[in-house]
Amino acid sequence: MTFPRILACSLLWVALWRCGGADAPPSFQQNPLDNFELVDLSHAYDDETIFWPTGKPFRHERTAWGLADGGYWYSSYDFASSEHSGTHLDAPIHFAAGKQTVGEIPLEKLAGPAFVIDIAAHCARDPDYAATAADFASFEAAHGTIPQEAIVLVRTGWSSRWPDVKSYMGDDTPGKADNLHFPGLSPDAARRLAARKIGAVGIDTASLDPGTSTDFRTHRILAAAGIPGLENVANLDALPATGAAVMALPMKIGKGSGAPCRIVALVPKS
């Protein structure tokens, strides 16, 4: 049984146990999640949410707020957003014809052991830095081979700049995406990850490609390999290089090229 399936089965047992729908086996006499710290890797969606310059911003409009006619409290909102704003998932169809939409991605692709590649030192010196295949080779030399179905997360340090658009994107000209500056992944690094047949790859910037990219080759390579992307990931500094697990659950937009995504890491307390 693969790691994502083991994790999913474990969490299902927890849900059944808490709801009284199953007798707890001996190993579940204590909540197994007590052994983990849950780390939120998502930015909130609000009026400061950063979105791709050519997309539409997140909108949250109040439709009800206060006491209803029956004397009870009632509040409600409408919301709308570009698929590719805030912490979100890129489906393979985003850059590869005929590949999976958001609604077609199996959950097994979105849950697995996390491998965090830290290139923040490079990015501090060069805001246009693109992680190289050599960066990943160095990581594997220190931590072992990245396995199939793993969730690879690239830490650039850019999350600390959120929600300052100019600092985070390199430019804040409305509707313009031709002068952006932030780190990403090189095509060679993308090919290395595709060869590993990983589950998904994420980064704490606005795009898997660096801001200076005009052809989005990294997106295209990963999408062609059927690998979903996670962008604008938060709090990667709270994760170890290895040993954590990640679940990335996007809004299930059936034909979506992308979707808002809540990403959670389980970090062993020991």
Token pair for 267 = 């970090």
Catalytic residues: 94
**HEC readout, 7-38:** HHHHHHHHHHHHHCCCCCCHHHCCCHHHHEEE
**Amino acid at residue number 31:** N
Q: Is 24 exposed, middle or buried (0-12, 13-18, 19+ CB in 10 A)?
A: middle
Instruction: Output the CA torsion 34→40→45→49 (10° steps).
Output: 170
Q: Are 73 and 66 in contact (CB under 8 A)?
A: yes
Query: What's the chain's length in residues?
Result: 270
135-162 b/e (C-beta count within 10 Å ≥ 16 → b): bbeebeeeeeebeebbbbbbbbbbbebb
d(CA 95, CA 11): 33
User: Taking each helix axis from N to C terminus, what angle separates 133-143 and 187-196, rounded to the nearest 10 degrees?
Assistant: 40
> Strand pairing partners for 77?
62
Q: Are 150 and 245 in contact (CB under 8 A)?
A: no
Q: Are 218 and 190 in contact (CB under 8 A)?
A: yes
